[in-house]
Structure 1
């Protein structure tokens, strides 16, 4: 881990001394028309990533919009687009185990699917002692100055803020993992391979800390941006309709694995008809080639975007426990 543990602890104690108000709810979690399902905890605490506003603001900024896609009154499936205030929704466990997970929902880089691949997994994690942070990241087609690096900027900043404020959440600053789904799996893998890339200018003392996750778990991930294995929608939203080869390589995590990448947990279904399983295999092979520890699970059935809710009743439903057992084996949980 690149972060200086002493400076991290000092920063965390300072945040604790300033009081909880410094990280209380800032930008509210999204709402769509209609009532929320009863009995499902909703986040009341958020952390805006950028104290003076996100860098590289578009000349014609988008307007944030939340759409409810579910037709079931007991299950929400909100998609958020036009994010101009990137942030994290915080889920705290009753008894923290000292480990934190940055959750990165998917959505094809078109929107951020916050329930199925964010809040639901956060509830599962907090029930088992993990502190969870659901990332609302900016979308690359909205005209931000950082272009396709804008999502990685938000992920790097989120990791650093969690470490900076670790004492407030009873989290070990070294034990911060990343988990992402689909296009969020691409961003998770990008963070796990390009954590040291300079994608934004220093904002404050939090940016002195490392962005490298303790471990990374891309779930049914988009990986390659090359024509063929790439998910066409994610590739187009991230890089445009006809990206040059150097841009394709720069944003394909399998082409950018460093010698000091963190351990990876990769999960995919072989019958995924949206993101080909080849994406997971390309990342696994690249990690193995660099001697990076990688746990890989392939399931015959599962399709795409199963998360927790669509895995019920299938063999793939065991996947969260497989991840949890693996984290124990590497000293995370």
Structure 2
């Protein structure tokens, strides 16, 4: 079965939906804004209008909202609750580059981050955006970047830095968090930040697109058929400090995806921390369950303190 098909079924886009809206909108009090002042670069045709579907199937006791046919990418800024640490995280939901799991791997992450004093910027990037020729073993074979999605990611990082003072963010403490395909997007922007994929459109594009830290969670598309690292993520010493989480029984994006990236980061001398769990499967997000893997956010908070992005525990 193709990877994006698995992701669709897993996130209930293949199941019947009990609610559907024309486009995804954040909860009241949070405004999403377009990231491009006009048409997005390299616009591609999609099979229909943007649709947000809420599944009948529950995951960790809650439904999942799947958004597809995104042609107008947006970002939603969630201000921190309580004391502001000055750190910010741009969140990339997953969904096989075909849908976006906007709650499971989006808004729920923002709830966690803002409760810890971290500004969260949720990116609704363009999908479908499938650059790969898929093999039956569900690994990418071609060597193309996920260009539209990465353009959106680069643009968003630059916009956040451009508005850092206005949004009470330290421009040197802006990271990225992504799940599954969004985890691969984290790896792409972490290693291609100096590769400009679109013509500058305004002053924001003078800013750097390099994240100050990166958290790919059960990432996909990193291992090639021969077990080597996907060449589209050219790891170097300049790759930002990275925090990896993976379950060994993940049957969608296998543990080899994370291991190959960890090894490349370690060999390049880029700071990296990895956490492997025996159980957890795929698409667990930040929803609490009985599996120890769902307690990874606490480890991420400790790590953010050790690299100086937020105050260390006890301070």
* Normalised TM-score (structure 1): 0.76
CA deviation map 1:196-244 (0-9, x unaligned): 11111111110100011110000001142523769xxxxxxxxxxxxxx
CA deviation map 1:240-282 (0-9, x unaligned): xxxxxxxx9443x2xx112311100011011111111011100
- Residue in structure 1 matching 2:294, options 300, 309, 317: 317
Q: Which has the higher helix share?
A: 1
- Residue in structure 2 matching 1:261, options 239, 251, 266: 239
SS of aligned partner of 1:317: helix
Alpha-carbon spacing, 1:313–1:142, altered in 2? closer, same or farther (3 Å): closer
User: What CA RMSD, in Å, does the superposition of the two structures yield over aligned residues?
Assistant: 2.6
Deviation, structure 1 residue 141 = 3.9
Residue 184 (structure 2) aligns with: 186
Residue 303 (structure 1) aligns with: 281
Q: Where do 5+ consecutive residues of structure 1 fail to align? A: 1-31, 35-39, 231-247
- Measure the CA separation in 1 of the matches of 2:46 and 2:107: 30
- Measure the CA separation in 2 of the matches of 1:249 and 1:124: 31
1:217-236 equivalences under 5 Å are 217-224=215-222, 226-227=224-225
CA deviation map 1:131-161 (0-9, x unaligned): 1011111125489xx9731111110101000
- Measure the CA separation in 2 of the matches of 1:104 and 1:213: 13
- Measure the CA separation in 2 of the matches of 1:260 and 1:70: 44
Q: Which runs of 4+ in 1 moved over 6 A?
A: none
- Residue in structure 1 matching 2:86, options 95, 98, 103: 98
- Measure the CA separation in 1 of the matches of 2:213 and 2:249: 26
- Measure the CA separation in 2 of the matches of 1:108 and 1:142: 8
8 Å CA contact retained: 1:61, 1:84: no
- Measure the CA separation in 1 of the matches of 2:52 and 2:150: 22
SS of aligned partner of 1:168: coil
Deviation, structure 1 residue 42 = 5.2
* Normalised TM-score (structure 2): 0.80
Q: Where do 5+ consecutive residues of structure 2 fail to align? A: 1-18, 132-143, 311-315
- Measure the CA separation in 2 of the matches of 1:294 and 1:323: 12
8 Å CA contact retained: 2:81, 2:116: no
Deviation, structure 1 residue 47 = 2.2
Alpha-carbon spacing, 1:299–1:225, altered in 2? closer, same or farther (3 Å): closer
Residue 307 (structure 2) pairs with residue 330 (structure 1): yes
- Measure the CA separation in 2 of the matches of 1:62 and 1:163: 33
8 Å CA contact retained: 1:140, 1:147: no
Residue 66 (structure 2) pairs with residue 79 (structure 1): yes
- Measure the CA separation in 1 of the matches of 2:39 and 2:33: 12
Deviation, structure 1 residue 172 = 0.7
Residue 169 (structure 2) aligns with: 171
